[in-house]
Each structure stands twice: as C-alpha cells, then as structure tokens.
Amino acid sequence: MKEVNINTQLFVFESLEELTPEVQNLMQKAIEVRKKAYAPYSKFRVGAALLLDNGEVVLGSNQENAAYPSGLCAERVAIFYAGANFPDAKIVKIAISATSDLNPNTTPIPPCGACRQSIAEYEFKQELPIEMFFMGESGAIYKSESLKNLLPFTFDKNFL
C-alpha cells in the first residue's frame, strides 16, 4: 500500500476591501445577482459572476424547479451562458456568493460537486486555470487559483 497526500492552497481575504478593485466589482455583481435567484424550495440563493478574457462579465443565479433535479446552479447558469454566447472567450475569474433566507451565512460557500465538474471542463477546454473567489452572505472570501484545488481528482476527456 502507498499513501498519497494532496495539498490544497486557498487564500483568505477577511473582507471585500482586501480584494483588488476588479475582483471587488465582480463579487459585488455576484452578490447582486444572487438576489435574483429563483429559490422557493431551498431558500438558498447563489449568485455567480464570470469575467471573460474579452472583458465581458456574465452573471448567473440559481434557478430551482419543483421537479428536482431540473433546476440549475448559479455557476452553471453563468458558465453555460458564456459557452453559448462567447464560445471563443476564456473564463478568467469567477466570483460566487451564497446565502440562505433562513439563516445568515458568513462562511465561504464553495461550488457544489456538479459545478466543480463543469468548471473543470472549462479549465480543460481553455487550457487556462480559472481563479475562483467564493463567500457566504458576507464575511471572509476564499480564493483558489484553479478548480484543481477544490477537485484534485478531476474527470476529463482523457478517461473516455
């Protein structure tokens, strides 16, 4: 038997003011768009803002459906919109903000597994890591320089 150790590196910012102006703006957009989430069942609202290499900012909020799992997470709404409307653009950064209508949340909330896999697909496609910033309703923000920090064993086309 052999042991494998995997190290992950995240950076922690205690407030929005510690971020660069560009990332502050992106996170503010994620905060604003999360208010537009359609979340009547979970009461959990998520907003995502993508910065593309062409300067475009693409937004997404989670969209639920009574027929689970027909809804879609904010990150995938934004990523798929970017893929459909800007197929040659690369995703440079993604900012994610999430909160619950039931309980205030100040803990950074990372993307779910399905969203991690979708982000991984775009990192593979564009051969460029995507900087990720995520937070709760308020408080600290985590930064990952690549999805690989959150999903070290990615599934990609090489396995097919």
Residues 21-80 have pLDDT tens digits of: 999 999 999 999 999 999 999 999 999 999 999 999 999 999 999 998 889 999 999 999
Give the Cβ contact number of residue 27 at 10 Å: 23
Binding residues for Zn(2+): 73, 112, 115
Assign residue 65 the CATH number of its domain.
Answer: 3.40.140.10
Binding residues for substrate: 62-68
Q: Is residue 13 part of a domain?
A: no
Give catalytic status of residue 121 as yes or no: no
Q: Is residue 11 part of a domain?
A: no
**Alpha-carbon dihedral 59, 29, 37, 137, rounded to 10 degrees:** 140
pLDDT tens-digit map of 105-134: 999 999 999 999 999 999 999 999 999 999
Range of the domain at 113: 20-149
For residue 58, what is the enclosing H or E element?
strand 57-61
Of 17, 22, 56, 75, which residue is the catalytic one? Answer: 75
Give me the pLDDT at residue 45, please.
97
C-alpha 15/C-alpha 138 separation (Å) is 8
Q: Which of 69, 92, 72 is nearest to 80 (CA)?
A: 72
Give me the pLDDT at residue 55, please.
97
Q: Is residue 10 part of a domain?
A: no
Give me the pLDDT at residue 141, please.
98
* Count of domains observed in the chain: 1
